[in-house]
Chains A and B, each alone.
Chain A
Amino acid sequence: SYELTQPPSVSVSPGQTARITCSGDALPKKYTYWYQQKSGQAPVLVIYEDSKRPSGIPERFSGSSSGTMATLTISGAQVEDEADYYCYSTDSSGNRKVFGGGSKVTVL
């Protein structure tokens, strides 16, 4: 089976930069997507196709991908950015749709 690996938690001070990594063997060939999920809410797409930002998502959210690792960067993290963040992609065949285990971002 295919897996995406994320750190369980990331802590950052307000105004500083948080980086969340996601590693997977198929990432050189497949796009990575990032979702933000606040407590009790549905997930929200914050980055698609490695580095594109949907309309309405603040510019402080950015994404990149190199080799087998993708990174979500929150530049100038705000208290309201506290949430669980999940990366998502597929295996090389496209048949298996997989989420990472999630990273809890704490801003304090």
Chain B
Amino acid sequence: DVQLVESGGGVVRPGGSLRLSCATSGFMFDDYGMSWVRQVPGKGLEWVSGISWNGGSTGYADSVKGRFTISRDNAKNSLYLEMNSLRVEDTALYHCARNGGGAGYYFDYWGQGTLVTVSS
């Protein structure tokens, strides 16, 4: 079974930094692109960032561009999100998601998420 388990969330002050991790199992990690999607509790979903299977291509939402960095370690079957200059509006549950195959860019499996709270 495909499993995605996020970690690294917590409480941080505005302007601070945090590094999220996503440990994966149950599939060939280096065959798939991966993404981070966040959700403010009780609100909707927002794509944050994505990375290709080999890390050669990355993308970011305008809201995080220049502050967040996505990366992966295929030897460890793991995905990461380095978050700097955090803002109150970055407070959310951050889900790791596997990019699906086929013609479009979408997410076929999701983790339960790790909660990031940015507060003074």
B112: Cβ under 8 A from any A Cβ: yes
B100: Cβ under 8 A from any A Cβ: yes
The reply to whether B113 and A49 contact each other, CB–CB distance below 8 Å, is no
Interface residues of B in 59-109 (CB under 8 A from A): 59, 61-62, 95, 100, 102-109
B44: Cβ under 8 A from any A Cβ: yes
**Contacts of B107 on A, CB cut-off 8 Å?**
33, 43, 45, 88
Binding site for A on B (CB under 8 A): 44-47, 50, 59, 61-62, 95, 100, 102-113
**Contacts of B105 on A, CB cut-off 8 Å?**
90, 94, 97
Q: Mostly helix, strand, loop or mixed at chain B's interface?
A: loop
Q: A-B pairs with the 9 shortest C-beta distances?
A: A97-B47, A42-B110, A99-B45, A31-B104, A33-B106, A102-B44, A42-B112, A43-B110, A101-B44
| B interface footprint on A73-108 (CB within 8 Å = 1, 0 otherwise) | 000000000000010111000110111111000000
What is the CA–CA distance of A98 and B103 in the complex, to the nearest angstrom? 16
The reply to whether B111 and A42 contact each other, CB–CB distance below 8 Å, is yes
Binding site for B on A (CB under 8 A): 1, 30-31, 33, 35, 41-45, 48-49, 54, 86, 88-90, 94-95, 97-102
Q: A95-B59, A97-B50 are in contact. Are A42 and B95 (CB under 8 A)?
A: yes
**Contacts of B104 on A, CB cut-off 8 Å?**
30-31, 33, 48-49, 89-90
